[in-house]
């Protein structure tokens, strides 16, 4: 486990806890807006054959990414962003492997 990432996350969480109520609500609103934008992007992907194929490959590789009851907008945004950004592992060898030339 990367200790510096965990430490940074803990510092960020502590910083958020020390924000005023107004600041915290503004941050939450901003995250909600980013989540809506991300969901709109996914809906637009579902309108194209390539996008549908991409989302199906992701669902097959990683499972679906629904919002769980009680999950905050921030938690769901992070999970969905990670789901979209992950590289899909290659499951099959290429149709034509590279030729090896002896020489």
Distance in angstroms (rounded) separating the CA atoms of residues 52 and 59: 11
Tracing tokens 């989302």 back to the chain, one arrives at 55
The model carries a pTM of: 0.66
Taking a C-beta distance cutoff of 8 angstroms, is the pair 77, 31 a contact?
A: yes
> What is the tens place of the pLDDT at every residue in 54-99?
999 999 999 999 999 999 999 999 999 999 999 988 766 666 666 7
Taking a C-beta distance cutoff of 8 angstroms, is the pair 65, 83 a contact?
A: yes
> What is the tens place of the pLDDT at every residue in 6-62?
667 777 776 666 667 788 889 889 999 999 999 999 999 999 999 999 999 999 999
Distance in angstroms (rounded) separating the CA atoms of residues 47 and 71: 27
Dihedral angle at the C-alpha atoms of 61, 71, 82, 91, nearest 10 degrees? -10
């Amino acid at each position: 486990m990367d200790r510096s990432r965990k430490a940074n996350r803990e510092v960020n969480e502590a910083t958020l806890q020390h924000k005023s109520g107004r600041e915290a609500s503004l941050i939450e609103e901003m995250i909600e807006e980013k989540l809506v934008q991300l969901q709109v992007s996914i809906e637009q992907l579902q309108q194209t054959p390539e996008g549908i194929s991409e989302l199906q490959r992701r669902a097959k590789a990683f499972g679906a990414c629904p919002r769980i009851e009680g999950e905050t907008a921030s938690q769901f945004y992070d999970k969905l962003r990670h789901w979209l950004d992950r590289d899909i592992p290659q499951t099959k060898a290429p149709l034509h492997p590279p030729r090896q030339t002896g020489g």
